[in-house]
Amino acid sequence: MAKEKVAGDALFLSGSLALDLVNTEMIVRRKKRDVLSSPDDLAHWWQAALAHHPEQDSVEGGETPLAWTFDLLEEVKRFRQSLRSLCTYLVEEQSTTIPDLELLNHILSLGYRSVQLTPPGEIIPVYRVYDQQKGRILLPIALSALRLLTEAERQRLHKCRNDRCILFFYDTSKGGTRQWCSLGCLNRSRSIHQYQQRHNGRSHGMRNER
Ligand SMILES: [Zn+2]
């Protein structure tokens, strides 16, 4: 139960759908944890992601249910791995990214922009996908990644400053000074710092007594 809560708190804090997917791999109590370990997990995560990102581009066909298969899970995980390497490149400016960009382009090509007439007669933009099964989940994430790579400010993309944490986030704070993924990581870092200060203070004191 407590474990679920830790995972839940970490899930949608990045400010970006693409980063939220990357963050489904996390460290909980020093152990790597994969939130997407079954097709069911993926279904639950996607429901929550839709609720957390109402601003995402709408993809036509949202009413028909998806088949949550192991194949789909594998596709999503492959994309997640690729997005992690792209984010790491952006943050640390290392490693080659051509295959990762090619995968992103491939996923972007699963859909196309079009127009739709709403019942009240309004014309709205929507995305249509060639492959409903893959496209309806992968395309919105790819579009989010596209915005992150091409429209966002690179210096606002960060990996959490906690060395034991592998989460990424996009800093939307006014001053752009956010360093930790969450209050949890900030507090852990503060308590380590305070412990070190106390510890140093004590050894200092002992030296003075002699
Ligand atoms: Zn963190």
- Which of helix, strand or coil describes residue 141? helix
The single-letter DSSP state of residue 179 is: -
Question: How many Å lie between the centroid of ligand 1 and the Cα of residue 168?
Answer: 8
Question: How many Å lie between the centroid of ligand 1 and the Cα of residue 166?
Answer: 7
User: Rounded distance, CA 210 to CA 207, Å?
Assistant: 5
Nearest to 46 by CA among 127, 153, 136: 136
The answer to whether the CB of 38 falls within 8 A of the CB of 176 is no
Residue 79: CA atoms inside 13 Å, Cβ hemisphere, count?
A: 28
Q: In the prediction, which pLDDT does 33 show?
A: 94
The answer to whether the CB of 106 falls within 8 A of the CB of 78 is no
Q: In the prediction, which pLDDT does 85 show?
A: 93
Domain count for the chain: 1
Question: How many Å lie between the centroid of ligand 1 and the Cα of residue 60?
Answer: 35
Question: How many Å lie between the centroid of ligand 1 and the Cα of residue 10?
Answer: 8
Question: How many Å lie between the centroid of ligand 1 and the Cα of residue 16?
Answer: 16
Question: How many Å lie between the centroid of ligand 1 and the Cα of residue 148?
Answer: 20
DSSP line for 72-89 = HHHHHHHHHHHHHHHHHH
List residues, by chain if needed, whose CB lies under 5 Å from ion ligand 1. 160, 162, 165, 167, 181, 185
Query: What is the mean pLDDT for each group of 10 consecutive residues in the chain (210 residues)?
Result: 55 93 93 95 94 85 85 98 94 83 96 93 93 93 94 92 93 91 87 78 48
Q: In the prediction, which pLDDT does 205 show?
A: 46
Query: Residue 141 is part of a domain; what is its CATH number?
Result: 1.10.3300.10
Question: How many Å lie between the centroid of ligand 1 and the Cα of residue 3?
Answer: 16
Q: In the prediction, which pLDDT does 8 show?
A: 63
Domain limits for position 165: 2-209
pLDDT in tens, 184-206: 888 887 887 777 788 776 655 44
Question: How many Å lie between the centroid of ligand 1 and the Cα of residue 182?
Answer: 6
Q: In the prediction, which pLDDT does 196 show?
A: 79
Question: How many Å lie between the centroid of ligand 1 and the Cα of residue 188?
Answer: 9
pLDDT in tens, 36-67: 999 999 999 999 999 999 887 788 876 778 89
Question: How many Å lie between the centroid of ligand 1 and the Cα of residue 64?
Answer: 36
Question: How many Å lie between the centroid of ligand 1 and the Cα of residue 47?
Answer: 23
